[in-house]
C-alpha cells in the first residue's frame, strides 16, 4: 500500500494506461466509418475491408485480451511490471500472436541498461534475483514483489544504507521535521548515494502504519508519527513553546510541525513529488551519442581511443550462458584534468550485443573514473584500468559492439566490433567454461556471492587482457599466476551418486614443451557428488624465466570415457 496522495496519481495514470488503446482504436474505427463515401456514391466496397461494427469491435478487443494470458500475461503483469514503460506496455498489449510477443520480449531486454557498480549487475538475471529476494524478505500478507519496498528494491537494488526502526517507539525529530520527541510507527529510510535519472543522496522512506509488516512508500515524513492525530501528544518544539498549533500541521503534502525551517521545507514538497515520480519511472539510456557511433557507424573526427577486450563463457543453465566482457584501457591513453591537487580521467562506455538479423539483445553502459593525486599521475600512466560486465545470453551467434569516449576530450573515441559465438553446453557432452588467467583471484564473502564486479560464483577473479587480439597475456615475475575454469556434465555413478574423473593441470614452456609444473587431482577432491566442478589455483611465477608459457587443464571422465582439455598461453616478463 502506498501513500494516499500517490495512490490517486497512479490510479489515474493506470486508468488512462488501460483504456486509452481501446478509446483510440474505437475512435479510429468511427473516423474511418465517417470518412467512407456515402452509400449512394459509385464506390466498390471490399468486404474484407468493411468497417467493424461496435459489437464486432468489442468482440475483437475481448479476444485480444483473452489471448494475452499464461506466461505472457505473467511476464507483463508481474515480471516486468515495474520496469516496462507505458508505450512498451501498450505496444505489447496490441500484439496479435506469440511470435510477435517473443520478439518483443527479446527486444525489451535488449533495451535495458545494466550497471555493474550498483546492485543491478547483469540486468535480466539481476532483475529476477531481486524479485526472488523481495519475495523472501518483504512479504507482508502478499508476495514481496507487490510491496513498496519490494518494488524499490527490484527497480534500484540494495540501498547504500538503511536507517531501520522495526519497532517504532520513541523518536527525537530532527529540526527539519519540527524537533521535539514523539512516538513512531515502524519505519525505514533507504539511502542511495546516487540513482541514475533521479539524483544524488536520495532518501526513500517507508512506514508501517498498520503494524503488520507492510511498509509503504511515503513522501510525508510526518506519516510515521504515531501521535499525529492524538491531541496534545508528540508536540514539536514550537508547539511546546506555544509558537504554533498542532492543527497547523495538516496543510500541504507533509504533516510536519511549523518552525524556523518550515518555509524551506514547504518549498521542497514539489521536489519530493518529482523525486517520487522519478523513482517509479524506468531508467533512461544515458550515452546516446555513443549509441549513434555503434548504430550508425559514424566516422571519427578525432584521434582513435584504443582499448582491449576479452570475452569469456560460463554456463548458468542449459539455456543460458554468462558472458563476462572485460575492457582494458591504458591510463596513458586517457585525458586527465587536474583540480585541487587531484588528477581525474573519465571514460564513458556503451556496449551492445545484436543478433545476425540486427536485433539488439543486450546493452550496457557505465562510466569509469580514474583519480590520482596530481604528484602520482606520471607513475600511474603505465597502469591499466579494467572494466567488467557479465551478460546473460542464450547459445548462438551474435555481434558485440563497444564504444568508449574520453569525457575530458570528447573527440577522442574508440570502437570495437567482433562476432561473438556463445557455446551450447549439452547435458550429455563433457564441456568446460573458458580458461581464465587472472592477476587477482580470491574468495568473496557470503554477501557478495554471485554478484558484483569480477565475481563469478563465490570467486573474485579479474582476468588479464592481452594488448592485442591473438597475443598471450603477460605477467611479471613478482606477480602470481591465477587460473580458473569450470567443468560441466561430468557423469555420475548411479550406485555411489558420485563422479569419477581425473583433473590434471600443467605449465609448459611454449618453446621447448618442457613441463615446468604438473598436478593431478581426483574429481572427488573438488566436489564428489556434483556434475560440475571448479578448478582454480594460484601459483607464484618468480621461478619462471622470462619467456612464453602455456597453462593446460585436462579432464578425463572415467565413467563416460570422455576427455577434454583447455589451454591458455601467457608471457612472463
Which of 234, 251, 279 terminates a domain? The answer is: 279
Is position 35 within any domain? no
Q: Please give the residue range of the domain that contains residue 497.
A: 426-573
Query: Please, what is the Cα angle at 225 between 220 and 231, to 5 degrees?
Result: 120
Q: Are residues 378 and 466 in the same domain?
A: no
Which of 227, 248, 279 terminates a domain? The answer is: 279
Average pLDDT over residues 436-452: 78
What is the total residue count of the chain?
A: 573
C-alpha cell at 258: 511549523
C-alpha cell at 564: 577434454
CA distances from 427 to 284, 319, 323, 394, 424 (A): 39, 11, 19, 15, 10
Is position 177 within any domain? yes
Q: Are residues 438 and 570 in the same domain?
A: yes
What confidence category does residue 264 fall into, taking pLDDT thresholds of 50, 70 and 90? low
Q: Are residues 197 and 249 in the same domain?
A: yes
Q: Are residues 15 and 102 in the same domain?
A: yes
Chain position carrying cell 544515458: 286
Confidence (pTM): 0.52
Q: What is the count of structural domains for the chain? A: 4
Q: Are residues 570 and 430 in the same domain?
A: yes
Is position 44 within any domain? no
Per the model's pLDDT, the better-predicted residue between 383 and 70 turns out to be: 383
Q: Are residues 243 and 263 in the same domain?
A: yes
Q: Are residues 437 and 548 in the same domain?
A: yes
Q: Are residues 413 and 436 in the same domain?
A: no
Rounded distance, CA 427 to CA 424, Å? Answer: 10
Q: Which residues contact 410 (CB under 8 A, 6 or more apart)?
A: 302
The conformation of residue 206, written as its DSSP 8-state character, comes to E
Phi and psi for 294 in degrees, rounded to 5?
Answer: -75, -45
Q: Are residues 458 and 537 in the same domain?
A: yes
- Here the CATH number for the domain that contains residue 433 is 2.60.40.2550
Long-range contacts of 193-197 (CB under 8 A, 24+ apart): 193/160, 195/156, 195/278, 195/279, 196/115, 196/283, 196/284, 196/286, 197/278, 197/281, 197/283, 197/284
- Here the CATH number for the domain that contains residue 309 is 2.60.40.10
Is position 308 within any domain? yes
Q: Are residues 347 and 466 in the same domain?
A: no
The predicted structure's pLDDT at residue 84: 85
Rounded distance, CA 220 to CA 200, Å? Answer: 20
* Cβ-based neighbour number of residue 533 at 10 Å: 22
C-alpha cell at 385: 584500468
Q: Are residues 432 and 572 in the same domain?
A: yes
457: left (phi over 0), alpha (psi -120 to 50) or beta: left
Rounded distance, CA 434 to CA 486, Å? Answer: 8
Is position 502 within any domain? yes
Is position 172 within any domain? yes
With a cut of 60, say whether residue 49 has pLDDT above it.
no
The predicted structure's pLDDT at residue 372: 87
Please tell me whether residue 571 adopts helix, strand or coil conformation: strand
Is position 40 within any domain? no
The predicted structure's pLDDT at residue 504: 95
Rounded distance, CA 158 to CA 153, Å? Answer: 6
Percent of the chain with pLDDT over 70: 78
Reported as type and span, the H/E element at residue 352 is strand 342-355
Please tell me whether residue 377 adopts helix, strand or coil conformation: helix
Q: Are residues 373 and 248 in the same domain?
A: no
Percent of the chain with pLDDT over 90: 32
C-alpha cell at 546: 622470462
Q: What is the mean pLDDT of the chain?
A: 80
Is position 320 within any domain? yes
Average pLDDT over residues 375-388: 89
Which of 424, 439, 472 terminates a domain? The answer is: 424
Amino acid at each position: 500500500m502506498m501513500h494516499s496522495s500517490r495512490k490517486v496519481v497512479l490510479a489515474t495514470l493506470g486508468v488512462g494506461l488501460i483504456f486509452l488503446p481501446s478509446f483510440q482504436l474505437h475512435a479510429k474505427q468511427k473516423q474511418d466509418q465517417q470518412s467512407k463515401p456515402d452509400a449512394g456514391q459509385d464506390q466498390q466496397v471490399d468486404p474484407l475491408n468493411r468497417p467493424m461494427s461496435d459489437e464486432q469491435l468489442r468482440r475483437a478487443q475481448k479476444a485480444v485480451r483473452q489471448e494475452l494470458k499464461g506466461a505472457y500475461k505473467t511476464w507483463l503483469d508481474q515480471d516486468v511490471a515495474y520496469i516496462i514503460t507505458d508505450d512498451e506496455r501498450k505496444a505489447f498489449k496490441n500484439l496479435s500472436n506469440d511470435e510477435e510477443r517473443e520478439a518483443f520480449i527479446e527486444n525489451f531486454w535488449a533495451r535495458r541498461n545494466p550497471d555493474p557498480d550498483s546492485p543491478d549487475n547483469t540486468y535480466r538475471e539481476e532483475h529476477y534475483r531481486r524479485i526472488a529476494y523481495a519475495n523472501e524478505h518483504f512479504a507482508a500478507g502478499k508476495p514481496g514483489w507487490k510491496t513498496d519496498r519490494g518494488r524499490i528494491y527490484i527497480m534500484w537494488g540494495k540501498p547504500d544504507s538503511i536507517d531501520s526502526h522495526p519497532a517504532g517507539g520513541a523518536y527525537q525529530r530532527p529540526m527539519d521535521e519540527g524537533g521535539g520527541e514523539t512516538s513512531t510507527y515502524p519505519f525505514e529510510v533507504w539511502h542511495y548515494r546516487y540513482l541514475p535519472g533521479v539524483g544524488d543522496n536520495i532518501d526513500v522512506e517507508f512506514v508501517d502504519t498498520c503494524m503488520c509488516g507492510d511498509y509503504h512508500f511515503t513522501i510525508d515524513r510526518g506519516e510515521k508519527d504515531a501521535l499525529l492525530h492524538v491531541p496534545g501528544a508528540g508536540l514539536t518544539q514550537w508547539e511546546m513553546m506555544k509558537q504554533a498549533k498542532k492543527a497547523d500541521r495538516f496543510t500541504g503534502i507533509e504533516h510536519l510541525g511549523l518552525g524556523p525551517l518550515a518555509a524551506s521545507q514547504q518549498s521542497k514538497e514539489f521536489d519530493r513529488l518529482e523525486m517520487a515520480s522519478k523513482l517509479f519511472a524506468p531508467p533512461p539510456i544515458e550515452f546516446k551519442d555513443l549509441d549513434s557511433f555503434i548504430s550508425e557507424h559514424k566516422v571519427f573526427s578525432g584521434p582513435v581511443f584504443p582499448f582491449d577486450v576479452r570475452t569469456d563463457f560460463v554456463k548458468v543453465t542449459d539455456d543460458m550462458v554468462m558472458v563476462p566482457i572485460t575492457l582494458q584501457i591504458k591510463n596513458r591513453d586517457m585525458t586527465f584534468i587536474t583540480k585541487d591537487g587531484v588528477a581525474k580521467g573519465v571514460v564513458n562506455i556503451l556496449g551492445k550485443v545484436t543478433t545476425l538479423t540486427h536485433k539488439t539483445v543486450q546493452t550496457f553502459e557505465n562510466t569509469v573514473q580514474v583519480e590520482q593525486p596530481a604528484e602520482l599521475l606520471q607513475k600511474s600512466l603505465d597502469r591499466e584500468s579494467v572494466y567488467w560486465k557479465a551478460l546473460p545470453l542464450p547459445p548462438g551467434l551474435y555481434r558485440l559492439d563497444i564504444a568508449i569516449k574520453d569525457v575530458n576530450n570528447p573527440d577522442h573515441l574508440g570502437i570495437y566490433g567482433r562476432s561473438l559465438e556463445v557455446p551450447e553446453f549439452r547435458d550429455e557432452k563433457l564441456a568446460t567454461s573458458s580458461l581464465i588467467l587472472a592477476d587477482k583471484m580470491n574468495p568473496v564473502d557470503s554477501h557478495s556471492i554471485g554478484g558484483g564486479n569480477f565475481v563469478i560464483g563465490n570467486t573474485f577473479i579479474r582476468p588479464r587482457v592481452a594488448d592485442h587480439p591473438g597475443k598471450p597475456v603477460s605477467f611479471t615475475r613478482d606477480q602470481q599466476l591465477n587460473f580458473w575454469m569450470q567443468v560441466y556434465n561430468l557423469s555420475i555413478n548411479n550406485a555411489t551418486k558420485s563422479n569419477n574423473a581425473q583433473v590434471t593441470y600443467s605449465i609448459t614452456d611454449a618453446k621447448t614443451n618442457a613441463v615446468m609444473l604438473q598436478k593431478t587431482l581426483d574429481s572427488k577432491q573438488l566436489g564428489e557428488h556434483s556434475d560440475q566442478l571448479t578448478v582454480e589455483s594460484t601459483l607464484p611465477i618468480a621461478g619462471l624465466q622470462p619467456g612464453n608459457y602455456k597453462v593446460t587443464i585436462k579432464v578425463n571422465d572415467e565413467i563416460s570415457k570422455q576427455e577434454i582439455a583447455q589451454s591458455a598461453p601467457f608471457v612472463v616478463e
